[in-house]
């Protein structure tokens, strides 16, 4: 897995070299921007992969990522306003915990509806997305009014902790600027993806989780608690995805909230799951690729607005192509979990 990472770096460097960009700062900026754009997608995709491996197709992820972001903002705002001299550690822990709480609550709603009450997963997920985006915009738009203030949210004291670079990044020239200049959440995204891959492929619990997503009746018969696995993987997956929202509001926008600012990144994360054929390690490289495609229009000079929209379509077009390719190759390992989207209930005999 670390090999994959190194490979990413080597490949990008190679592209730079081949294209003769080695001294071109714009291209380094582009790579850097691609990674920054990729991080929220990677969080979302890793979370969704873990969720989908249990057979739960959680289309509520875009909403959950909104909630993950706004919960962090609310937590951070309340802390920033409660004390004159915020403590560094709490500046990170409080937004993190409130983000976790918000995403976990959303996942709990999803699980209660789809696992316990066996409501259709697609309907529930779509409803949660609408709900999450709505709640996010409502809180974002009215948080200051609750406290009788005007203006817009901006967490000046907390955000810098999320944006802090590695101390030696600037001294390493272009390499440092391109690969080491991110806040800690970016590195966490990669670590979580690698851990998720290890968990799914090398542990007993991971094996059980995949069994639940493939064939819950079989898993049940071998004594695996299907309901527990579905709840836990969906909740943990959502908490990871929520971090993507948190990264966006704390690091990317620097503690400011704009309504609908997160955009369609949640859907992109779901597309990324398919693109990465349900493998967290593939998601790492793919997320940076998607991030690059997302940013491409800015780095191509002289585009009209309609061409910009066409370029923005690229990630989705690539995903459709991947779907066609994997269905044509028809390799069983590359297929989605067999019971994805289906509710399980032990039949009344």
Partner 1 sequence: MDVAAIELKNITKRFGKIVANNNVCLSVYRGEILSLLGENGSGKTTLMNMISGIYFPDEGNIYIDGKEVVIRSPKDAFDYKIGMIHQHFKLINVFTAAQNIVLGLKSKEKFDIKTVSKQVKAISEQYGFDLDPNKKVYEMSVSEKQTVEIIKVLYRGADILILDEPTAVLTPQETQKLFAILRRMRDAGKAIIIITHKLHEVLALSDKVAVLRKGEYIGTVNTAETNESELTEMMVGKKISLNINRSEPKDLVDRITVEGLTCINPEGIKTLDNVSFSARSGEILGIAGIAGSGQRELLESIAGLQQIENGSIIYHNPKTGADDELRGKSPIKIRDLGVRLSFVPEDRLGMGLVGNMDIIDNMMLRSYRKGKSIFLERKKPKDLAERIISDLEVVTPSAQTPVRKLSGGNVQKVLVGREISASPTVLMAAYPVRGLDINSSYAIYNLLNQQKEKGVAVIFVGEDLDVLIELCDRILVLSSGKVSGIVDGRGADKSNIGLMMTSYSGGEAYENV
Sequence-ordered list of residues with C-beta below 8 angstroms from that of 76, at least 6 positions apart, any chain: 91, 94, 95, 98, 155, 158, 250, 255
Q: Does 343 bind partner 1 (CB under 8 A)?
A: no
Comparing CA positions, the residue from 162, 153, 58 lying closest to residue 110 is 58
- In angstroms, give the least distance from the CB of 332 to partner 1: 5
Q: Does 232 bind partner 1 (CB under 8 A)?
A: no
Residue 203 region by backbone torsions, left for phi larger than 0, else alpha for psi between -120 and 50, else beta: beta
Q: Does 53 bind partner 1 (CB under 8 A)?
A: no
Q: Does 219 bind partner 1 (CB under 8 A)?
A: yes
Two tokens at 73?
A: 């903002």
Out of 218, 259, 307, 327, the only residue in the binding site for partner 1 (CB under 8 A) is: 218
Q: Does 306 bind partner 1 (CB under 8 A)?
A: no
- In angstroms, give the least distance from the CB of 221 to partner 1: 5
3-state SS of the chain: helix, strand, coil percent to 5? 75, 0, 25
Two tokens at 126?
A: 């779509």
- In angstroms, give the least distance from the CB of 285 to partner 1: 23
Closer of 301 and 348 to partner 1 (Cβ)? 348
Out of 166, 335, 341, 343, the only residue in the binding site for partner 1 (CB under 8 A) is: 335
Q: How many CB atoms lie within 10 A of CB 267?
A: 16
Q: Does 313 bind partner 1 (CB under 8 A)?
A: no
What is the CA 62 to chain-centroid distance, rounded?
A: 9
Q: Does 224 bind partner 1 (CB under 8 A)?
A: yes
Site for partner 1 in 128-187 (CB under 8 A): none
- In angstroms, give the least distance from the CB of 219 to partner 1: 7
Sequence-ordered list of residues with C-beta below 8 angstroms from that of 10, at least 6 positions apart, any chain: none
What is the binding site for partner 1 (CB under 8 A)? 202-204, 207-208, 210-211, 214-215, 217-219, 221-224, 332-333, 335, 338, 349
């Amino acid at each position: 897995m670390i090999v994959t990472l190194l490979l990413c770096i080597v490949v990008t460097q190679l592209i730079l070299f081949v294209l003769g960009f080695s001294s071109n700062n714009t291209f380094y900026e582009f790579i850097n921007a691609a990674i920054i754009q990729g991080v929220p997608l990677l969080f979302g995709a890793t979370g969704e992969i873990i969720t989908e491996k249990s057979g739960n197709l959680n289309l509520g992820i875009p909403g959950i990522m909104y909630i993950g972001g706004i919960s962090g903002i609310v937590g951070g705002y309340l802390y920033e306003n409660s004390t004159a001299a915020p403590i560094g550690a709490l500046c990170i822990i409080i937004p993190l915990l409130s983000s976790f709480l918000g995403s976990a609550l959303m996942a709990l709603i999803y699980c209660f509806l789809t696992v316990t009450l066996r409501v259709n997963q697609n309907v529930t997920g779509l409803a949660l997305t609408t709900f999450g985006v709505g709640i996010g915009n409502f809180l974002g738009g009215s948080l200051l009014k609750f406290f009788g203030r005007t203006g817009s949210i901006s967490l000046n004291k907390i955000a810098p902790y999320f944006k802090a670079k590695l101390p030696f990044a600037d001294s390493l020239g272009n390499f440092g600027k391109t690969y080491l200049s991110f806040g800690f959440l970016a590195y966490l995204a990669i670590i979580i993806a690698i851990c998720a891959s290890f968990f799914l492929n090398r542990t007993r619990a991971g094996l059980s989780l995949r069994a639940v997503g493939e064939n819950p009746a079989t898993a049940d018969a071998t004594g695996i608690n299907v309901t527990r696995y579905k709840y836990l993987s969906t909740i943990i997956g959502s908490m990871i995805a929520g971090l993507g929202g948190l990264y966006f509001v704390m690091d990317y926008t620097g503690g400011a909230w704009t309504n609908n600012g997160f955009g369609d990144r949640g859907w992109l994360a779901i597309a990324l799951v398919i693109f990465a054929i349900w493998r967290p390690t593939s998601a790492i490289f793919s997320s940076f690729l998607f991030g690059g495609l997302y940013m491409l229009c800015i780095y191509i000079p002289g585009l009209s607005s309609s061409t910009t929209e066409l370029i923005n379509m690229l990630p989705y077009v690539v995903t459709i192509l991947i779907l066609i390719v994997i269905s044509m190759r028809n390799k069983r390992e590359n297929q989605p979990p067999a019971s994805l989207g289906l509710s399980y209930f032990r039949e009344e005999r």
